[in-house]
Amino acid sequence: MALLFFDSFDHYNYAQLTSKWMYAGGTSSDFSDIVAGLGRRGTYGLKMRTHRGTLIGIGHVLEKQFVTSGNTFIAGFAFKCVTALGLNPSSTSEGSACVISAVQNIGVSHVWFRINGDGTITALCGSTALGTTITAVTQGVYAYIETKVVIAAAAAGSVVIRINGSVALNLTGVTTQVGATAVWTGFYSRQRLSAGTQQEWNYDDFYLSDGSGAAPWNDLLGDCRVEVGMPTAEGAVSDWAPLSGTNNADMVKEIPADNDTSYVSSLTPGHTDTYDVPDSPVAGSDPSAVQVSLFTRKEEAGLCNLAAVARIGSTNYPVPVINPGGTYSYRMALFQTNPATGLAWTEAEYNAAQFGFTRAS
């Protein structure tokens, strides 16, 4: 699997967040939102902000779950603590600390990372503190944080934290497993507040991988930039029917997606749409991977199987996605390599490619 998922928060709104993430905590957009200009390059970013009056409790949670993915967990994300770095910084109880990152197996954490009041980060397994970073994040400034955990019992595991590309903690020969199974199924990050406090965390440029496969995708990727390319024109194939007009790209280019206001549809297996997208925004840089995100719903009874498509030259390369349900949600497919070559993408190959979808059945 290797690279599993990445997100820039640039192409959807807060109401659509749960169609890409599992998310628990407050529901008011007055407190948490996807906000223009909040990201690292003036793009959109995720704001998680919780306020507690007279209560003490858990703040907002950002969570992503997967099918079991082996014993290596890697997460990277841009993080800014706007207010109140780490509350309850000496707590060894996961339920009463600020958890900036955690690796879980079906809701039970193997290792969790506590952000402290001075901006350092402590790695814990259960209630056992494994170590604390030698460097710290600064309140009000974005830092790129990467955490890597090899899950193992009997002091056979390891933990790495990198901040802005530099190793801030490197532990080997530590116990990193809770329970009987050295596998993981999810990531989460969670605020924790004391009475009368407010906490705001901002996120951007997120990636998650499982350490399998070939380099460089099987290890920490470094400070990553996640960009969105929306359709700019119809590609070589336009089989799907637009709701109105004759240009399919006009029906699928909205940010955020507008549900039934504009769309393309098809009842015919084999129908395919491909689209032109902007060239890579970073000239001279090869993409690490391409992820196609489809905002879909099924409106007729019966079987409907979809696949995301990368079109290279005159050939369409499909990757199946989770079948659509009756309400709109995102279905994603990741092209880690150029499917025509099996090798890492080059900038020129990405710029020449088209992307879209096909109805497989």
Look at residue 66 in the predicted model and tell me its pLDDT: 83
Query: Which pLDDT score is estimated for 56?
Result: 43
Whether the CB-CB separation of 214 and 1 falls below 8 Å is answered with: no
pLDDT for res 271:
98
**Phi/psi at 18 (nearest 5 deg)?**
-75, -5
Looking at residue 58, its pLDDT comes to 53
Task: Please report the pLDDT score of residue 29 as a whole number.
Answer: 43
pLDDT at 55: 45
Contact present, 249 and 238 (Cβ < 8 Å): no
- So what's the pLDDT on residue 24? 55
Q: How many CB atoms lie within 10 A of CB 347?
A: 15
First to last CA, the chain: 25
Give pLDDT < 70 ranges for the chain: 1, 23-30, 51-59, 68, 84, 86-89, 193-197
pTM metric for this prediction:
0.94
Residue 322 token pair:
């989770």
Dist CA 147 CA 149 (whole Å): 7
Q: CA-to-CA distance for 183 and 320, rounded, in angstroms?
A: 25
The structure tokens 């890492």 sit at: 344
- Extents of the domains making up the chain: 3-209, 233-359
CATH topology of domain 3-209: Jelly Rolls (2.60.120)
Dihedral sign for Cα 75, 76, 78, 81, please.
positive
**Which value, to the nearest 10 degrees, does the dihedral of the CA atoms of residues 277, 278, 281, 284 take?**
90
The DSSP string of 257-307 is --GGGS-EE--STT-EEEEE-PPPSSTT---S-EEEEEEE---SSS---EE
